[in-house]
Every structure is written in structure tokens, then in C-alpha cells.
Structure 1
Amino acid sequence: MAWRSALMIDPVASDDRREDFAGTLHPFDPDAPALRVGDLSAQRGDGIFESLGVVDGHVQEVGPHLERLAHSARLCDLPAPHLGQWRAAIAQVSADAGAGENVMKLTLSRGVEGQTVPTAWITLASAPDNVRSRTGGVRVVTLDRGHALDVPARAPWLQLGAKTLSYAVNMAAIREAKRRGADDAVFVSSDGFVLEAPTASVVLRTGDRVITPAPSVGILHGTTQISLFAFLAQRGFDTAYETVPLADLARADAAWLLSSVRLAAPVSAVDGEAKAVDRALTDEFNAYLLSPRD
């Protein structure tokens, strides 16, 4: 990954009335040491993050990503981020983006162990080359997430639905998918319902109806999925959030993994069984997702 820039943020209270946050934003070399060894982001994965796509210098879906950052902070008992300060930081970092596709990552940590001040920073890097995934599709395997569909409501302390830094399980799932000859995974509840991919939302089309698993089951509410559903509604599609049995993933006319950086990657196989790719609609999805969106 080619780093472009990085910015450390001195977090201010969410009700701070100032409009100029320049004195709270500190550029630093992304290849140089920046965090204290006691920071809980590194010690325990205790923090939250957002990854935003940046296309030709335009940061995509800033508002929805900041709303989700605030939502994750509430779920994790972190101080509420001042969204105006984060917008100022995003604007400053985006000036280094240039042409092409980049990825901007916002991180809010609980801070150094034993202290009460959070740590916050933003990095900007060149995005991976996602052309093959968007055109050729991705082969997925289904993996048991180890809990039933009703667990998020019964055990909110699991912080399911928050975008936390604790991604070890997600990365292990992708490694397991590759061991099985696939490109990615789709998590399934222990009682047989589709949840999400380790780094993406799952979307299914049957006829003119497009559905995705409801975020109330403890999955991340995808900003790309929300934007795409608004686009599909304008196109005349019926969109819905539903409880999705695993069998529907194979039966659907087409399926995609959606994320802010990879965008729309069509699913070309499920557990070794080939699946038709809707090339025309995939191209339409990605043309829309690559256009400037606020």
C-alpha cells in the first residue's frame, strides 16, 4: 500500500462551538512512528474506524461515514466525535489525494491505557486494484459466525454492528476462504441466515427486487449499500431489508459484495457452485459508485 499522507487529531468535545479546527490537526509522516506503545488501539484493538473511498480527489459519502463513526462510538462507550472537526480533517487530508482511487481511513482509539484522552488520526493511501473483483467477480464460501440471529439483541456488550478495530476474526475468515479456494467469505448465523462478508455488505437480486440482511441482526449498516439502494429506488427497483435464509443466496438471480473501496463485486460462485454474474447491472452499479457522492 502506497501511503500518501497522515494527520493526527486532538479530539475536541462534540459540543465545541468553534468553527476553525486548524490548531487541532497535525500532519505527520505515515511511514514514521506515531503511536505510543500503550495505545489501546494496538494493545487491545479498542477503538473504531471508517474507510472512505476517494475518487479523483473527491471523498465519497462523508456524511454517512461520520454518522456511522458516531454510532460506533456510542456502542463502544467512546467520547462522541466532533463531526465538524472530523470534516475539517477529512478536507485537509483529501488535498493530497490526486487522481485515481484512494482510501482514507478514520481511526478513533480509546487512547493510552490508564489515561482518559482518546487518540484519533486519519491516513490516506492508494486503493488496491479492484478491477478483477468488479469485472470477473468473487468466489465466496459461507462460514458460521458462531451465534444465532437473536444474539445481538440479547448480548449488546458484544458490540455487534459497531465498526471496531478488532478485525482479527474478519481477517481469519478471509484466510480460511482462500484456503478453501475462494476469494472471500460470507458469514452465516448458526441458525442459517445470511449476515455479511468480513469487509462488505451482501446484496441479492431476484427479478426487480433487491434485498440485503437487516442491520438489526448485528451487522454493519453499509454506507455503500445505503447509497446503492437510493440509486436503485430511482431506477424502479423494489429494495428491502430482510431476514435472509442461506438458501436464498444460491437461489438469487445475482448477488454482490458491496464496500466503500472495492465497490460492487459480483458473486461468481457460492461454496464451489457457479453463480451467474449480472454484468450489465454490475457495470451500472460501479459507474454510479465511482461518481461523486456526498
Structure 2
Amino acid sequence: MALRFALMIDPLAADETTPDLSTTFTAVDPAAPALTVGELSTQRGDGIFESIGVVGGHPQEVEAHLERLVHSARLCDLPEPNVAQWRAAVAVAASECGDGEGVVKLILSRGVEHGPTPTAWATAATAGDFTDARTQGIRVVTLDRGYAIDAPARAPWLLLGAKTLSYAVNMAALREAHRRDADDAVFLSSDGFVLEAPTASLILQRGDTFVTPAPNGGILHGTTQLSLFEHLASRGFETAYETIPVDDLRRADAAWLVSSVRLAAPIRQLDGVALNVDAAFTASLNDYLLSPRD
């Protein structure tokens, strides 16, 4: 992704108002230094983020992303974001994405160690070309996440349901997938249940029913998955949240990894075994995801 724009945000309290929100953020050179060496986002990954897909200058599912930003902040004991301020920042950043597909990233960090306030910024970038993943499908391997399905309830300090900046494990999982001659991975709980991908949600098809793992297993509730479930329901399909054993994934009629930027990528191979890909149906899902969505 090519970074096009950056905006430093002076975070307002959640209930704070100001006549002109544009005075609370400043455009900066995306190639110039902007953070101090004491910044905890870089020292410890101590912060949260959201990636918002942009199509033709229109940011997709903004409210759902902002709701999840607030949820992640609460889980991480960060100051609650001022939603109006972040919404205004998204609009400014999205306008810099150009006419094609782009991505706006929102970052809220705990700030400088012993500092008085958090650090916040937004960036705008041109999205990569995901045509092959959307049309040809992706090869996926399953990887043990190392936690039982009930770990989030027993150990909430693991922050498994928050979208944190601590993505070293996620990136390591992708590198392991590549070492296994695959494009992506799906995490499994240590007791054999399907969770999510390192940067995407999982949807399975069983006949006319579409299923995703229940978010009570420390799964990040995907904004794209939520939007697709609404779309599928409008087309007359059943949707469900379930605790899914890995064998159910292997027996699925079809499966997709879905995310805000890559959109719907059908899984064509799971652990070396071919899965069915319905190219026409997948194209209809991506047509919907590329349409303006608020």
C-alpha cells in the first residue's frame, strides 16, 4: 500500500465538543518523522487501531469501525475516543485516497511513557490489488493459536477481543503460512475450534446457511462479516454464530476470509485439500462490498 496522507489528532474527551473539529487535527508529511522515541505504540505495541476500506473516496462502514474502536479502547483501559472527532478525521483522510480503492487507518496509542495524553493519528493509503485473491481464491492452513476456546473469559487481560497494535503474532502466523506454501492462515483454539484469520474473519457456507465463529472465543467481531451477514439475510439466506469444530470447516460447502480491504477471498485450498469455490457467488459478494456502505 502506498501511503498518501497523514493526520495527527489531538484527542478530545469522549463528551467534549468544539465548534470546529478540524482544529483538533493537523495534516503532516506522511514521509516525515512524527512520533517521539518514547512513544508506547512503537515501544510496546500499546494501542489500538482500525483499518477502513475506501472505495471512490467513500469510507465503508465508518460507524461500525468507530464502535469497535471504542470497544477496543475500553478493553485496553484507554481513554474513550470522541466519536465525532474520529468521524471527522476519517472524512478528511478518505478524501485523500483517490478515485480507486484505498484504506484509512486510525491509531490510538497510550502515548509517551509518563506523558499526559494519548497519541492519535490517521493515515490514508492506496490499497493493493486483490483481484487474484477475490477471483482465484486463496490457499489457507490452520494454525494452533495456543489458547483454549474459553481463554478470553478466564484471562481477559490477554485482550483477545481487542484490535490492538500488538500484531507480531499475527504477522508471524502469516509468515508461517507462506513457509507452508499458503497465502493465509486460520487460527484454531488449542481444543480444536475454529477462530479467525490473522487479519480477517471466517465465513462458512452449509447449504443455504452461512456461519461464522461465535465472538465469545476472543474473536475480533469483523465489520465486513457483520455487513455481509446483513446482505445475505436480505437475499433470503440464514446466518448464524456458532462454536465450530475444525472438521466442520473441512466439510463446508464453501468458505471465505473477509476483511475491510481485501474483501471476500474464497478459500480454494485448506491444509492442502481443495475446497469448492463458487466464482459467480463470490463476485456478487464483492460487488456488494464495493458498493457504498454506511
TM-score, normalized by length of structure 1? 0.99
Equivalences for 1:18-97 in 2 at 5 Å?
18-97=18-97
- For the aligned residue pairs, the C-alpha RMSD in angstroms reads 0.7
Letter in 1 for 2:170: N
Query: Aligned equivalents of 1:124 and 1:93: distance in 2?
Result: 5
Does 2:125 match 1:125? yes
Greater alpha carbon shift after TM alignment, 63-72 vs 16-25: 16-25
The structure-2 alpha-carbon separation of the partners of 1:197 and 1:213, relative to structure 1 and needing over 3 Å to count, comes to same
3-state DSSP class of the match of 1:282?
A: helix
Query: Aligned equivalents of 2:61 and 2:249: distance in 1?
Result: 28
- Give the drift of 1:94: 1.7
Residue in 2 that maps onto 1:211: 211
Residue in 1 that maps onto 2:114: 114
Query: Aligned equivalents of 1:19 and 1:156: distance in 2?
Result: 38
- Give the drift of 1:128: 1.0
Letter in 2 for 1:183: D
Greater alpha carbon shift after TM alignment, 199-208 vs 96-105: 96-105
Say if 2:51 and 2:104, in contact at 8 Å, map to a contact too.
yes
Letter in 1 for 2:40: L
- Give the drift of 1:92: 1.4
Letter in 2 for 1:102: G
3-state DSSP class of the match of 1:111?
A: coil
Letter in 2 for 1:160: L
3-state DSSP class of the match of 1:199?
A: coil
Query: Aligned equivalents of 1:194 and 1:116: distance in 2?
Result: 41
Residue in 1 that maps onto 2:154: 154
Query: Aligned equivalents of 2:202 and 2:61: distance in 1?
Result: 19
Letter in 1 for 2:124: L
Query: Aligned equivalents of 1:88 and 1:148: distance in 2?
Result: 40
Residue in 2 that maps onto 1:201: 201
- Give the drift of 1:116: 2.9
Letter in 1 for 2:184: D
- Give the drift of 1:280: 1.6
Task: State the number of aligned residues.
Answer: 294
Greater alpha carbon shift after TM alignment, 42-51 vs 87-96: 87-96
- Give the drift of 1:17: 2.6
Greater alpha carbon shift after TM alignment, 271-280 vs 59-68: 271-280
3-state DSSP class of the match of 1:23?
A: helix
Residue in 1 that maps onto 2:12: 12
Structure 1 residues not aligned, in runs of 5+: none
- Give the drift of 1:18: 2.4
Query: Aligned equivalents of 2:2 and 2:281: distance in 1?
Result: 31
Say if 2:98 and 2:126, in contact at 8 Å, map to a contact too.
no
Greater alpha carbon shift after TM alignment, 85-94 vs 206-215: 85-94
Query: Aligned equivalents of 2:250 and 2:157: distance in 1?
Result: 33
1:186-207: CA deviation from partner (whole Å, max 9, x where unpaired): 0000000000000000000010
- Give the drift of 1:98: 1.9
3-state DSSP class of the match of 1:52?
A: strand
Query: Aligned equivalents of 1:86 and 1:17: distance in 2?
Result: 12
3-state DSSP class of the match of 1:202?
A: strand
Letter in 1 for 2:158: L
Residue in 1 that maps onto 2:262: 262
Residue in 1 that maps onto 2:135: 135
Say if 2:56 and 2:99, in contact at 8 Å, map to a contact too.
yes
Residue in 2 that maps onto 1:223: 223
Say if 1:19 and 1:84, in contact at 8 Å, map to a contact too.
no
Query: Aligned equivalents of 2:19 and 2:151: distance in 1?
Result: 42
Does 2:104 match 1:104? yes
- Give the drift of 1:278: 1.4
Letter in 2 for 1:53: G
1:131-170: CA deviation from partner (whole Å, max 9, x where unpaired): 0100110100000000100110000010111000000000
Greater alpha carbon shift after TM alignment, 155-164 vs 16-25: 16-25
